[in-house]
Chains A and B, each alone.
Chain A
Amino acid sequence: MKIILFVLFFLSFIKVSVAQLQFEFTWKGKRIELEKVYLFANNDSIQFSELKCYLSNISLIDQKNKVSTIAPSYFLIDLEDSNSLVLNSALDISKYRRITLIFGLDSSVNNSGNIEGVLDPIHGMYWAWNSGYIHSKISGKSNRVPTKKQEFEFHIGGFRAPNQTYFNFELPISGNNIQLELAPFFDNLDLKNENQLMIPGKKAHDFAKSLTALISIK
């Protein structure tokens, strides 16, 4: 009996070291830091001043296909705020096989009156004139932008079909880091002609779709 109690006591300590999910933006596999210069294959340069995105409805699926949901349901990832990059959870992800989540916020969130916490429009991720969240912001500069300041700024949002910018996806859990790899996104982008986006529409939909496809777990 004493031994069992001792084991239980010991186990309660182990629980503290729960494996947590960490979010990172990467450039060719390397974690991106704000204002640091990164290079394209042809040595053109790019640097980022703002990287933000919403993740929501994260669920974990275990070996027996049992689904557990990570609370809270909404996360605002902001590269400037390192605390926002850790998806705090009481669930030990190493016990789970797969993960499902939404890149962005679904239309029910966009339509509801709930604006608490990370959903507060005070965070600047909200369009007032066309009610709805900016699901991701990607800003910075590159010599590929032909303006004097060489700046690009993408505010990607919109929840109305067919131009919704939130996507549900599922990934096998093969590590602790959810990575959004940006290099292929910019490789496929003509920064000379496309360096501003501020409204919902087909382009925002396409951007969000290609970004979602670049998310993986490492």
Chain B
Amino acid sequence: MKKIKLVLSVGIILLFLSFNIKEGNPFYIPENWPKPFYNFEDNQLTRDKFELGRTLFYDETLSRDSTISCASCHLQYSGFTHIDHALSHGIDGEIGNRNSPVLINLAWNSFFHWDGGVNNLDKQAINPLIHPKEMGNNLPEVIRRLNNSKFYKKRFLSAFGDSVISTSNLLHALSNFTLALVSANSKYDLMKRGVAGSEFTDQEKSGYQLFLKNCNSCHTEPLFHSNAFKRNGLKIDEELKDIGRMAITQRKSDSMLFKVPTLRNIEFSFPYMHDGRFNKLKEVVDHYSSIPAHQLIVSKELKKIKKPFTDQQKKDLIAFLKTLSDKQFLYNKDFMFQRNER
């Protein structure tokens, strides 16, 4: 009798675990995090939609000539950005104007793109699909191709209860995947949760203190971004002539404002800045450490930085930034291309 009970309870636990692994969309809100911006009422998250979104994310046939997928410029092991490329290249080898952003904790973003031109995650994916230098396609053609595919009709039917594929369902499936890209298991997170073995070294502690004093007002814990636009003192690139937020609002006062990106997984998401001009974290720290106090064209937060940092301080700061790397996220098998899908 006892044996039967044991087998039964083990069976139930296993069943429960397998359901837990398969059933839901992997999106979750980590403990003590703020409320997300994304409106989940518009797009209910499910496992089916997540898996469909993942398939679409890795599918090159969405681009005009079937050569470029979302993942071409958003690689998982770099935090879903285009590692090594200052400016991302898309279809026909065309090079865009900006460094592709990481896709991390997107539910907590109220704006998308370096200039914040996109106000809703669902609508963001239209951009790479139709941009002539990215995937170079057009929406009617994308929808036509999907509707001609028996494979996708079946997948959309199972995910949305409708085999006729619409723009809305395409974008909702993609959001189901990109929303699930939650990174909250870095050494920093484990340290905050008091997990044994994750205590900061003296150098990381010193770097964290420097960070809180000088960087946190824009790259705010626990997301390490803020949904704000700042002028970070970089000189305009004369070739790209990127004026940032002003291109969206037409306000002169918004010239050279760019969105504050997250610092999570920053160790692996090089190169840095909106135009990818810096390859190493040290160059970034050097930049913020050397902005002259009298320079008027930087945001007020940067004027408060106690400069210049000593070499030791710079090293400490970088040691802290590396505690934001989340290997569980970067190598999460659930986010990878699934070879056996078709």
Contact = CB atoms under 8 A, between A and B. Distances in A.
A128 B167 contact: no
Interface size on A, as a range, is 20 to 34
B291 interface: no
Nearest to A107: B119
A162 to B, nearest CB: 10
B284 interface: no
B42 A129 contact: no
Interface stretch (B122-130, B229-237, B269-277, B303-311): B122-130
A121 B249 contact: no
Contact size range, B: 20 to 34
Interface string B127-144: 100110000000110010
Contact of B117 (A116, A120, A121, A129): A129
Contact of B122 (A113, A130, A200, A201): A113
A113 B250 contact: no
Contacts of A126: 126
B223 interface: no
Interface string A141-173: 000000000000000000010010000000000
A163 B120 contact: no
A202 interface: yes
A111 B248 contact: no
B39 interface: yes
A1 B16 CA distance: 67
A201 B126 contact: no
A126 B140 CA distance: 13
A14 interface: no
A76 to B, nearest CB: 14
A12 interface: no
Interface in B132-183: 139-140, 143, 166-168, 171
A120 B42 contact: no
B167 A122 contact: yes
A160 B168 contact: no
A121 B126 contact: yes
B298 interface: no
A131 interface: yes
Contacts of B127: 128-129
Given A114-B42, A120-B166, A200-B250, A128 B140 contact: no
B168 A120 contact: yes
B191 interface: no
A160 B123 contact: no
B190 interface: no
Contacts of A112: 39, 42, 120
A128 B123 contact: yes
A199 B42 CA distance: 28
Contacts of A116: 166, 168
A113 B42 contact: yes
Interface of A: 110-116, 120-122, 126, 128-132, 160, 163, 199-202
Given A120-B167, A120-B168, A121-B126, 7 more contacts: A111-B120, A113-B123, A122-B143, A131-B119, A132-B119, A163-B250, A199-B250
